[in-house]
């Protein structure tokens, strides 16, 4: 069975919902959105405090890394969204864009048109936050990010303690200055999670006959005619289907599944494809390479008094700073959680709080396939702590967390230091702790990196290099991870991708 559309968007996740919604604004364009998972109707998805409970369920791919030498040989669970909204339907709902320096660094790496001033209009277009600085914040977009409307008292304690320890207070991380400690925006509106599926897709899905959303539709292969991508093969309800794109295929399957689908389709490093038993269609060395994720190391304290239960996402405040003052932007983040959080090997009692420490890593890994079977798990190697500098920055960050925990606002709340524990003071013991305590921050990027060099997978318009009719639009195109949570930057990529597909040149005039 086959059908034809103008555009086929593969992946109804964070960016894919944005791309499909924006492309279908043109009523003469027929748009098909293919989502491997089901509808985002699971009750726990909408309930902000329930987000940890959806991991490992039917709305999670349940991926797992290969053993990581840098973390003592541990393999790490990698929850990835398997439902409309993708990982935006299962994440912790933190809405941070990234610092100006992150996007200016993309431009310095050759990605002209992706500097901060160029992408700011898209950040503004996707949100509605009246009352903020209109130079930086939007007023009529589909998303309504805002700080917690029902904050936990311990969150304010953290901000006050960080300021008492000498760090600046951040008034709006998504405004003029994204450094310091403060309240970050959350993807929560009217007390419920607001994913891109909820904000972009749900309001228009039934009103646009030119938009078709197919759930339970797992893409198996991209179709090519010489150097032209012509369509997609997928399975739905046990049956095979073929769909053709008269204009373009937009691959928005995410940092794991976008390269996985390219590799299964014969696009990628020729030697890897031949080893996996896949016929080479297009030798593109960068596919699956440049994988990186914020390594997250958690410092945990037992509380000296009962912590009230959370009403939002358990993580309402954070801090961003530079490990070296000479850097052009911050490379460190501390996410404060008023619950215990960390790897299974380092448990903590329920009445505990966590300083989650993350860095922009130097180490790079890869996503590969083991063979031609589309149902086989991909081989995910983020190479955690594979660079010495990554280890040293996290060791230094432990000291930053301890200084904040020791500040007077925490006096009434500070109990025993559980991890790493008071005996871990010398460099050797702290390095050993970082090795045991570090895992994923659930922010993988980079496997279809944008750029101009030999390792780039897509060009500056997100077109697959050497192939016509195919673009990639998701977190996989980031050449370098932003210094904070990646969700908002991924939405921006979806917004800009839709304009690139439609041939719209947008500068500072976005409204």
Is residue 272 within 8 Å of residue 368, measured between CB atoms? yes
Burial 102-139 (b: 16+ CB within 10 A, else e): bbbbbbebebeebbbebbbbbbbbbbbbeebeeebbbe
Q: Count of alpha carbons within 13 Å of 297, Cβ hemisphere only?
A: 32
Is 134 annotated as contributing to ligand binding? Answer: no
Is 319 annotated as contributing to ligand binding? Answer: no
Residue of 158, 71, 131, 22 whose CA lies nearest to 383: 71
Distance CA 270, CA 72 (A): 32
Give the residue numbers annotated as catalytic, written as ranges. 443
Is residue 85 within 8 Å of residue 197, measured between CB atoms? yes
Token pair 């996402």: residue: 313
Distance CA 420, CA 436 (A): 10
* CB neighbour list of residue 116: distance below 8 Å, 6 or more residues apart: 100, 101, 102, 103, 104
Is 467 annotated as contributing to ligand binding? Answer: no
Distance CA 293, CA 485 (A): 10
Is residue 468 within 8 Å of residue 478, measured between CB atoms? no
| Element holding 161 (H helix, E strand) | helix 153-164
pTM: 0.97
Give residue 75's Cα distance to chain centre: 20
Strands 31-35 and 211-215: parallel
Per-residue pLDDT tens digits of the chain, which is 511 residues long: 579 999 999 999 999 999 999 999 999 999 999 999 999 999 999 999 999 999 999 999 999 999 999 999 999 999 999 999 999 999 999 999 999 999 999 999 999 999 999 999 999 999 999 999 999 999 999 999 999 999 999 999 999 999 999 999 999 999 998 899 999 999 999 999 999 999 999 999 999 999 999 999 999 999 999 999 999 999 999 999 999 999 999 999 999 999 999 999 999 999 999 999 999 999 999 999 999 999 999 999 999 999 999 999 999 999 999 999 999 999 999 999 999 999 988 999 999 999 999 999 999 999 999 999 999 999 999 999 999 999 999 999 999 999 999 999 999 999 999 999 999 999 999 999 999 999 999 999 999 999 999 999 999 999 999 999 999 999 999 999 999 999 999 999 999 999 999 998 764 443 3
Tally of CB atoms within 10 A around 201: 25
Q: At 349, list the tokens.
A: 């009692």
DSSP 285: T
Is 456 annotated as contributing to ligand binding? Answer: no
Distance CA 16, CA 197 (A): 9
Q: Is 263 helix (H, G, I), strand (E, B) or coil?
A: helix
| Residue 196: φ, ψ to 5° | -70, -25
Distance CA 487, CA 491 (A): 6
Beta bridge partners, 264, equal none
Tally of CB atoms within 10 A around 144: 18
* CB neighbour list of residue 227: distance below 8 Å, 6 or more residues apart: 282, 466, 467, 468
Whole-number Cα distances in Å, 50 to 42, 80, 210, 270, 312: 11, 16, 35, 43, 9
| Residue 99: φ, ψ to 5° | -85, 155
């Amino acid at each position: 069975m086959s059908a034809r559309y103008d555009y086929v968007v593969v992946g109804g996740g964070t960016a894919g919902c944005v791309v499909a919604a924006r492309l279908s604004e043109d009523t003469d364009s027929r748009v098909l959105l293919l989502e491997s998972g089901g509808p985002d109707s699971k009750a726990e998805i909408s309930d902000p405090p329930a987000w940890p409970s959806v991991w490992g369920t039917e709305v999670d791919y349940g991926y797992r890394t290969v053993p990581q030498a840098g973390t003592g040989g541990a393999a790490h669970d990698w929850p990835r969204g398997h439902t409309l909204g993708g990982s935006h339907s299962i994440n912790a709902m933190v809405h941070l864009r990234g610092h100006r320096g992150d996007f200016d660094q993309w431009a310095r790496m050759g990605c002209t048109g992706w500097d901060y001033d160029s992408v700011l209009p898209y950040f503004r277009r996707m949100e509605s936050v009246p009352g903020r600085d209109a130079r930086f914040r939007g007023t009529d977009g589909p998303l309504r990010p805002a700080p917690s409307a029902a904050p936990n008292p311990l969150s304010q304690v953290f901000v006050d303690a960080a300021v008492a320890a000498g760090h600046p207070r951040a008034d709006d991380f998504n405004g003029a200055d994204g450094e310091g400690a403060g309240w970050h925006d959350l993807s929560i509106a009217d007390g419920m999670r607001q994913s891109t599926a909820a904000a972009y897709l749900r309001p228009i899905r039934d009103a646009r006959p030119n938009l078709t959303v197919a759930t339970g539709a797992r893409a198996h292969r991209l179709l090519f005619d010489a150097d032209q991508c012509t369509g997609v093969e997928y399975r739905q309800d046990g049956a095979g289907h073929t769909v053709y794109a008269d204009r373009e295929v937009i691959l928005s399957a995410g940092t794991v599944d976008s390269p996985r689908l390219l590799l299964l389709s014969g696009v990628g490093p020729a030697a890897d494809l031949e080893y996996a038993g896949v016929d080479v269609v297009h030798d593109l060395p960068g596919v699956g390479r440049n994988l990186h994720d914020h390594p997250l190391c958690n410092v945990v304290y037992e509380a000296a008094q009962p912590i009230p239960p959370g009403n939002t996402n358990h993580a309402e405040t954070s801090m961003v700073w530079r490990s070296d003052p000479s850097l052009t932007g911050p490379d460190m983040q501390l996410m404060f959680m008023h619950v215990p959080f960390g790897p299974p090997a380092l448990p903590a009692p329920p009445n505990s709080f966590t300083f989650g420490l993350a860095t922009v890593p130097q180490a790079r890994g890869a996503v590969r396939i083991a063979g031609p079977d589309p149902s086989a798990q991909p081989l995910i190697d983020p190479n955690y702590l594979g660079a010495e500098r990554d280890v040293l920055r996290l060791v230094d960050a432990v000291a930053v967390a301890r200084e904040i925990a020791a500040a007077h606002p925490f006096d009434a709340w500070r109990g025993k230091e559980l991890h790493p524990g008071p005996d871990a003071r010398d460099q050797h013991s702290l390095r050993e702790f970082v090795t045991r305590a570090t895992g994923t921050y659930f922010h993988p990027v980079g496997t279809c990196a944008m750029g101009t060099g030999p390792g780039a997978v897509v060009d500056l318009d997100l077109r697959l290099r050497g192939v016509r009719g195919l673009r990639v639009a998701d977190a996989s195109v980031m050449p370098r991870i932003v210094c904070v949570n990646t969700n908002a930057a991924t939405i921006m990529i979806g917004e800009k991708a839709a304009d690139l597909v439609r041939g719209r040149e947008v500068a500072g005039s976005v409204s």
